[in-house]
Amino acid sequence: MTVRLRTRAFLVCFIPFALLLAAGFWMIQRFVQSAVGDGVRASLRDNQLAIARIHSKSDLQNSRFLRIVGENPSLKSGMQLLVSESHSEAARRTVEDQLRELGEHMGFDFLLVSAPDGSPLAAVVRKSAQGADAGELVPVDTGSLESNRNGILRIDGRAFQVASVPVDQDQENIGSLSVGEFFDFSEFITPAVLLRNGVVINSNISNVPYNEIGAALRGCPSQSECDIRLHGANWVSLPMQSDSIGEGYQLRSLQNMDAANAPVQFILHNLFLAVAIGCVLVALLCSLISSRSIVQPIAGVVAHLRNSEHTGILPEFESNQSSILEIKQLVENYNRAAVAVREARDSLHIAYVEFVGSLASALDARDPYTAGHSKRVSELSSATAAAMQLDLEHIERIRIGALLHDIGKIGVADTVLQKVGRLTDDEFAMVKEHPVIGRHILEGVGGLAPFLDAVELHHENWDGSGYPKGQSGEQTPVDARIIHVSDAYDAMTTDRSYRRGLAHQRAIEILNEYAGIQFDPHIVELFTKLVCNIQVAQVEPTTQPASGPTAEQVPAARFEAWEAV
């Protein structure tokens, strides 16, 4: 597909600018996203440090509080009884009642007493979460409890934050007391997940299944931050450092980077859109102006060259058509080439005109009686063409065609052309071949192609009785019709070897008599009006005037052959 130069110049100017603009916007967006991501990570770390400090203080307070609880005499007595009678249901229920009373009074969700060797003796747990709908504390099957006594403890699928303290009597350890609360994710201001051995067991991220979260975190190092793809969005995850979380458990905080970036992205998009529209408009304007400055002078050159297809002349351009150095140099070089071509064309035209004149002179030199005939016919034909208001180029074509109109007589024997008596039918047939012979002589020269019709068809008659093609009316080109009238007039008014020339008035009468038969009536009408004002140079014959009959005495049949010879 051909692309116009204006479009190509516009694209060359605009596309690099558009690409540069898009690359700049992309780089700025990436920089902003990176800055926002760093800010989010820093915020998460600060939150984790704050939570860790709170947990540390809470652990310290709980530790002190547990020591106080562990000094409860009733609890110590119940534990001593249960240790000594571990299979006694009454002793176990007594301790469970004591634990229930402590839990209700202190607000614990889980309480457990263990033997000195760590085996669980009795425990109670709250049925449901804390709050207005908090359930009562009920006994727990100690055989199903995990061995973890500090950190996270899971009971019936629920997670508890557990802390333990030893219980001593008379400086002798009689067991330990463990208390716990529901692991409440509401204290986290950011999304968080709780994992055990890599499996998510709790999360505060809504509408995202645990297995999907676990799959996303599977490739994250346990003690390092990482970027993950979760639920169609980009997230960052950081481990939360806590000494009281328990072995095998891991707590990680998460942050949706896309959500964090969304407000900034919205502002950036609006800003980029406004800047992009402005830049694109400026780029379009600059590209149009620059492409116009390049294309306009070249388009002028192309238009002039297109016109030269019809005129055949290369025009010159003004040197100040463009301020672009390369285009100015192009115009200057083109102008020099145009001058050189025009000079060569003029020289060639002069050369072939001189050649035509030499051919005509050579032809006329064969017969003293026809000397100057081609020149006179050329002058008469040019004057007639001018009277018909033909353009100068057409007049020049008729002038040269008239000079060459009888060139084919080179191929006719002198004995026929200069015969004094009447021509036989065979001799007249030989004479009638000279238009065709003339065409064959000239058609091998490319520069003489415009004159072939004038040479070949100048003996065609208006009524179709002429030769060589028998054309009638305007089938014959106007060049040949004009030369036909001029040729007949000069043939009738000049002396020939076989008769004396007619008077001017008699020749005009004959032309009018045969108008519409042999000659174009319109051309005859113009010719008869202007011929009286044309001074045709008469060439003195080099021999004695013909002694034959006058033109008036020549039979009509002979008249029809005058033009041929």
Digit-coded pLDDT (tens) for 212-227: 888 888 888 877 788 8
Q: Kindly state whether residues 542 and 407 are assigned to the same domain.
A: yes
HSE, CB side, 13 Å, CA atoms: give it for residue 181: 13
> Can you say whether the dihedral through the CA atoms of 507, 508, 511, 513 is positive or negative?
negative
What CATH number did the domain enclosing 502 receive?
A: 1.10.3210.10
pTM beyond 0.75, yes or no: no
Q: Kindly state whether residues 205 and 76 are assigned to the same domain.
A: no
More confident residue, 164 or 454: 454
Q: Which of 151, 181, 211 is the last residue of a domain?
A: 181
Given a cut of 50, is residue 1 above it in pLDDT?
no
Q: Kindly state whether residues 45 and 67 are assigned to the same domain.
A: no
Given a cut of 50, is residue 564 above it in pLDDT?
no
Q: Kindly state whether residues 90 and 56 are assigned to the same domain.
A: no
> How confident is residue 560, by pLDDT bands cut at 50, 70 and 90?
very low
Domain membership of residue 22 (yes or no) is no
For residues 232-241, give the mean pLDDT.
Answer: 81
The answer to whether 548 and 499 are in contact (CB under 8 A) is: yes
Cβ contacts of residue 547 below 8 Å, gap of 6+? none
Q: Kindly state whether residues 82 and 216 are assigned to the same domain.
A: no
- Total domain count for the chain? 3
Q: Kindly state whether residues 160 and 145 are assigned to the same domain.
A: yes
C-alpha to C-alpha distance for 272 and 27, rounded to whole angstroms: 12
Name the residue among 86, 90, 87 with its Cα closest to residue 114: 86
What CATH number did the domain enclosing 225 receive?
A: 3.30.450
Domain membership of residue 289 (yes or no) is no
The pair of three-digit structure tokens given for residue 521, joined into one six-digit string: 């009536």
Q: 153-181: per-residue pLDDT in tens?
A: 888 778 888 888 888 887 788 888 888 88
C-alpha to C-alpha distance for 72 and 68, rounded to whole angstroms: 7
Domain membership of residue 313 (yes or no) is no
Q: Kindly state whether residues 40 and 69 are assigned to the same domain.
A: no
Given a cut of 50, is residue 546 above it in pLDDT?
no
The answer to whether 107 and 137 are in contact (CB under 8 A) is: no
> How confident is residue 453, by pLDDT bands cut at 50, 70 and 90?
very high
Q: 83-99: per-residue pLDDT in tens?
A: 888 778 888 888 888 88
Cβ contacts of residue 536 below 8 Å, gap of 6+? 376, 379, 380, 490
Q: Kindly state whether residues 166 and 254 are assigned to the same domain.
A: no
The pLDDT > 70 percentage for the chain reads 71
Q: Kindly state whether residues 33 and 128 are assigned to the same domain.
A: no
More confident residue, 346 or 98: 98
* Order of all β-strands in the sheet with 233-239: 199-203, 192-196, 249-256, 233-239, 226-230
For residues 516-528, give the mean pLDDT.
Answer: 93
**Residues β-bridged to residue 275:** none
Most confident of 245-259, 455-469, 528-542: 455-469
Q: Kindly state whether residues 41 and 162 are assigned to the same domain.
A: no
For residues 391-418, give the mean pLDDT.
Answer: 87
The pair of three-digit structure tokens given for residue 89, joined into one six-digit string: 């249901």
Domain membership of residue 198 (yes or no) is yes
Most confident of 301-305, 350-354, 420-424, 440-444: 440-444
Cβ contacts of residue 66 below 8 Å, gap of 6+? 163, 164, 165, 177, 179
Q: Which of 125, 153, 181 is the last residue of a domain?
A: 181
Domain membership of residue 457 (yes or no) is yes
Structural domain of residue 200, as residue ranges?
27-60+187-260
Domain membership of residue 481 (yes or no) is yes
Domain membership of residue 139 (yes or no) is yes
Q: Kindly state whether residues 481 and 511 are assigned to the same domain.
A: yes
- DSSP collapsed to 3 states, 489-545: HHHHHCCECCECCCCHHHHHHHHHHCECCCECHHHHHHHHHHHHHCCCCCCCCCCCC
Q: Kindly state whether residues 247 and 396 are assigned to the same domain.
A: no
Domain membership of residue 450 (yes or no) is yes
